[in-house]
Structure 1
Amino acid sequence: MPTAQQYKALVAAFSITFLEIGTFKSFGVLVSPMKEELQTNLMTLGFAIAVSHAMGSFFAPIISKVTESIGERLTIIIGGFMASVGLILSALVNDLSWMTFCFAFVGIGSAMSFIAGILAISKYFEYHNQSTAIGVSYAGGSIGVMLCPPVVEELKKLFGWRAALALVGATNANLIVCGMLIRPIQRYRRIKPSTQINQERTSREKFLKIIQLWKQKLLQPFYVLAVKPIFIAVLVARLFSTMIYSGWAIFLVPHAIDKGISPEKAALLSSIGGVAAIFGRLLPGPILDKEYISVVKLIVLVSLLNSGAYFADHWLYVFWTLSLGAVVNGFYFGLEPVLAFPISVDVLGTDLTRDGFSLTFMPSAIGEMLGGFLIGKYSVTVVS
C-alpha cells in the first residue's frame, strides 16, 4: 500500500507533467496571432516554439547529474521559477529572436522540473508498481493537453495572446509548489573538517577534485552506448517519434483550420487527443508490471497504428474523421514517452537505467526542433 509521501510525490509529478506538456500544447492556439503580430512565417515560428520544449531535453544528461547533486526537490523548484519567468518575459518581447531565447529558458526550466519529478517517482516506487506510477505521472500531461488549449483559447479571446501567454507563465509558478511536495528519500550529512588549517590546505585539492568528478559525471551517461550499442536504436526511434509529436502538438489546430474546421472545433481536437492520451499514459503500466507483453512488442504495435492514422489524414476533412485521427495520434503520443523508462530498464538493466533514461531526452530535443521547423516549412510550401 503506497504511503502518504508516495501519494504526495505522485500528485506533484502528475501536476508537473500537466503544466509542462499542457503549456507546450497550448502554443498551438497562439500560433496565428503570434505569426501576424511578429510578422514571421510558420517555419520560423514553429522552430521557436519547438525550442521551448526541446532545449531542456537536449541538456537532460546534465540535468540528471544536477538532480543527483542537489536533489529532486530543489531541481523542481529552480526549474519552476525559470519556466514561469521565461514565459512571462516571452509575452513582453517584440522580436522573435528574443522570444526564442526566452522559450529556450522556459525549456530548460520545464525539463528540470519534469525530469526531476519522474526520477523522484522512480525512487519512491522502485520496488512496487513502478511502471504504473510513472504512467499515472505522465497522465497529467494528457489531461493538460485536453484542458489547457481550450482555456488558453478563451484567454486569448478575452485578453489577447500576450496576456494569455503571461497568465500561462504565472500558472507555471505552481511548479515551485510541486517541488515543495517532494521530500528527499536519502539524507546526507556534512563532514566537518577537524581543523581550519586542514580545510585551507586542502581547499584547492577539493576544488580540482570536484571539477574532475563533474567531467566524469557529464560523460558517464554516454558510457551506456559503449556497453549496450543496441540502445542507439532506441534513441533513433525517439528522434523520429518526437519529430512527429512536435508537428502534431504545434500544428494540429492550424492544420484543422486549413481543412475548413472552425477554430473552436480545431481547439477541441486537442482535447480529444488529450483524452486518448490519458488512456495511453495509464494503459502500459499495469500491462508491463504484470508482464502481459514486452515493452518492445508494445511500442512496435502502437507505432504501426499511429503510422496508419497519419497515412489516412490526407483523406480526412470532416470533423468526426479528424477526431478519430486525433484519438489514434493522442493515444500513441500518450503511451510512447511512458515507455522510455521501462525500455531503458529492459535494454540496459537496472544499474544503467538512470543514465540511459536521461539520454533518451537528447534525441527528443533534436526531434522536436526539427519537427517544428520541417513541418512548418512543409506547411509554408503547401500553402504557397
Structure 2
Amino acid sequence: MYRSNKDSGWSWVVCCGSFIAFLLETGIVKALRLLLPSLKEQFSTNTWVIGLIISLAPGFGAITSFSFGAEAITTAALPIYFDKFYDTSNGITHAGISISFMILPPLTQFLLDTYGWRGTLLILGGLNLHLVLCGALLRPLKISKIDYNHDSINDLSLKRTAFTSTTLVNKLKNLVQYMDPDLLKRSSFLNLLCMVTTSGYCFTGWVIYFVPHCEDLGFLPFKSALLATIGGVGYLAGTIVFPIAGRVLSAKTILYVSAVVMTLALATDSVMRVFNSYIGIMLSSFAVNIGFAVSFCCVFKELVVVVEEDKLSNAVNWIFVGYSIGSISSGFLSGWLYDRFGNYIKSFLFLSVVSALSVTPWLASGFKKAIKRSQRRDYSIIKDTDIKLNKK
C-alpha cells in the first residue's frame, strides 16, 4: 500500500512546468501576430492567409492532443497531481498566459526591430524548445491500491493497442474507441465544449489581430504592444478573481458573467476604435481578458465535476479539439473580414457576437429544465385537484 502524493512538493513542480508550458505555447501565438504586417508585406499575400497560418500554431497542437499537445497534456495532468489545491493550481497554470502577454509582445517587438522577422522566428523557436523540459517534469505519483482501478488499466491497454494493431481498420477502430466519443452524447459536456469553442474563436481572434488593428488605427508599434501588455494584466487579474468568485458563485453563474463581460468588452472595443480612443481600447483590453481568464479556468473546474476521473484525460482532449476548431476558424474568418472590408472593426464586432453565443446551449438547457419543472408542477396541481373532487 502506498500513500497518495497528491498536493505534495512535486505536484507544485509540475504546476510550475504547466505554467511555463502555457506561457510558451500561448506566447508564441501572441509573438507571431506582431510579425503579421512584416510577413504579409514579405510574401505579398492576404491577411487571412497569415492569420490562418498563425492560428495553426495552437490549433494543430490541440487537434492532436489525443497524442500530444503541451497545454492539453499539462491540463489533464493537474487533477492527477492536485486534489485540495486544484483550483489554485489551475489559476497558477493559466497565469502563464497573462505573463506571456506582458513580456513577449515587447520582447518580440525588440527582436523584430533588431534581428528582423527571420532572426525573431529563430529565437522564438529556441524558447519553445523548453517545452521538452516541461514534459520531463511529468512523472507518475505513488498511489494506493484502492485508487488503482481496472478502468485505468483498460484505458492504458486500449491506448497501446490503438497504435499497435496490425491492420489499419483495427487501428482506426481502436483509436476512435480510445477517443471515447460517448462523451459527446452528454449535454453537460457539450455545453462546456461549445463554450470553449466560441471562447477559443474570440481569444485567438483577439490575440492575432489586436496589435495589427491598433497599428492600423495609427498607434505606434510600441504603444500597440503596450495595449497587449495591459490585456495580459487583465488576464492575470482574472486568474486571481476566479478562485475567489468560485467560493461564492456556482460555475454556471461565473460562466454567464464572464460571457457577458467578454461580449460587452469586445463590443465596446469596436466602438472605441471608431472614436480612436486609446484609453477606451486599453480598458476594453483589460476587461475582455478578465473574461477570457475566468471563462477558461471555470470550464476546467466544471469539467472535473461533470466527467469521471478515468474519462477526464479524453474529455480534456476533446475540449482542446473544440478550442482548436474555434482558433483556426478565427484565424481565417477574422482575417478574411479585414480583407473584405478594409478594417478590423467588423472583425472585432463579430467576435462580440460569437462571445454572446457561447452561453446559448446553457440557456437552452436551463429553459428546457424550467419547462419540465413547470409541467410537473401543473400536473401535480391537476392531480391534487382531482383527488379533492373525488373525495367530495
TM-score of the superposition, structure 1-length normalised?
0.76
Q: Is the 8 A contact 2:72 2:316 kept in 1?
A: no
Q: Is the 8 A contact 2:164 2:171 kept in 1?
A: no
Q: Are positions 1:22 and 2:22 aligned together?
A: no
Distance in 2 (CA, whole Å) between partners of 1:354 and 1:141 is 21
Q: Are positions 1:325 and 2:284 aligned together?
A: yes
Distance in 2 (CA, whole Å) between partners of 1:213 and 1:44 is 34
Q: Relative to 1, partners in 2 of residues 1:319 and 1:184: Cα closer, same or farther, differing over 3 Å?
A: same
Q: Are positions 1:181 and 2:137 aligned together?
A: yes
TM-superposed deviation, 1:277: 0.4
Q: Are positions 1:367 and 2:326 aligned together?
A: yes
Distance in 1 (CA, whole Å) between partners of 2:322 and 2:7 is 34
Match for residue 190 of structure 1? Answer: none
Q: Is the 8 A contact 1:50 1:369 kept in 2?
A: yes
1:54 to 56, 59, 79: 59
2:193 to 224, 235, 245: 235
Q: Relative to 1, partners in 2 of residues 1:184 and 1:362: Cα closer, same or farther, differing over 3 Å?
A: same
Distance in 2 (CA, whole Å) between partners of 1:218 and 1:146 is 40
RMSD over aligned Cα, in angstroms? Answer: 2.4
Q: Relative to 1, partners in 2 of residues 1:264 and 1:208: Cα closer, same or farther, differing over 3 Å?
A: closer
Where 2:219 maps in the other structure, the secondary structure is coil
The residue type equivalent to 1:55 in the other structure is F
1:148-183 deviations in Å (ceiling 9; x for gaps): 011000000001011011100001111122223332
TM-superposed deviation, 1:4: 2.4
Distance in 1 (CA, whole Å) between partners of 2:309 and 2:253 is 20
Q: Is the 8 A contact 1:134 1:285 kept in 2?
A: no
Q: Is the 8 A contact 2:23 2:99 kept in 1?
A: yes
Match for residue 43 of structure 2? Answer: 38
Match for residue 227 of structure 2? Answer: 269
Q: Relative to 1, partners in 2 of residues 1:215 and 1:341: Cα closer, same or farther, differing over 3 Å?
A: farther
Where 2:140 maps in the other structure, the secondary structure is coil
Distance in 2 (CA, whole Å) between partners of 1:286 and 1:44 is 41
Match for residue 148 of structure 1? Answer: 104
Distance in 2 (CA, whole Å) between partners of 1:153 and 1:366 is 29
> 1:297-376 to 2 correspondence within 5 Å?
297-316=253-272, 317-376=276-335
TM-superposed deviation, 1:113: 2.0
Runs of at least 5 residues in structure 2 that lack an aligned partner in the other structure: 1-5, 144-160, 344-392
Q: Relative to 1, partners in 2 of residues 1:293 and 1:25: Cα closer, same or farther, differing over 3 Å?
A: same
Q: Is the 8 A contact 2:76 2:316 kept in 1?
A: no
2:180 to 216, 221, 231: 221
Where 2:69 maps in the other structure, the secondary structure is helix
Q: Is the 8 A contact 2:234 2:286 kept in 1?
A: yes
The residue type equivalent to 2:337 in the other structure is Y
Distance in 2 (CA, whole Å) between partners of 1:352 and 1:183 is 19
Distance in 1 (CA, whole Å) between partners of 2:34 and 2:73 is 28
Distance in 2 (CA, whole Å) between partners of 1:176 and 1:352 is 26
Match for residue 98 of structure 1? Answer: none
Q: Relative to 1, partners in 2 of residues 1:168 and 1:37: Cα closer, same or farther, differing over 3 Å?
A: same
Q: Is the 8 A contact 1:222 1:359 kept in 2?
A: no
Distance in 2 (CA, whole Å) between partners of 1:221 and 1:173 is 31
Distance in 1 (CA, whole Å) between partners of 2:164 and 2:27 is 41
2:125 to 165, 169, 172: 169
The residue type equivalent to 1:321 in the other structure is G
2:81 to 113, 124, 129: 124
TM-superposed deviation, 1:145: 1.4
The residue type equivalent to 2:258 in the other structure is V
The residue type equivalent to 2:231 in the other structure is G
The residue type equivalent to 2:216 in the other structure is D
Distance in 2 (CA, whole Å) between partners of 1:121 and 1:282 is 18
Distance in 2 (CA, whole Å) between partners of 1:207 and 1:263 is 51
1:249 to 207, 220, 237: 207
1:90-110 deviations in Å (ceiling 9; x for gaps): xxxxxxxxxxxxxxxxxxxxx
TM-superposed deviation, 1:346: 3.0
The residue type equivalent to 1:378 in the other structure is L
Where 1:160 maps in the other structure, the secondary structure is helix
| Percent of pairs with identical residues | 24
TM-score of the superposition, structure 2-length normalised?
0.75
Where 2:29 maps in the other structure, the secondary structure is helix
TM-superposed deviation, 1:21: 0.8
Say which one has the larger Rg: 2
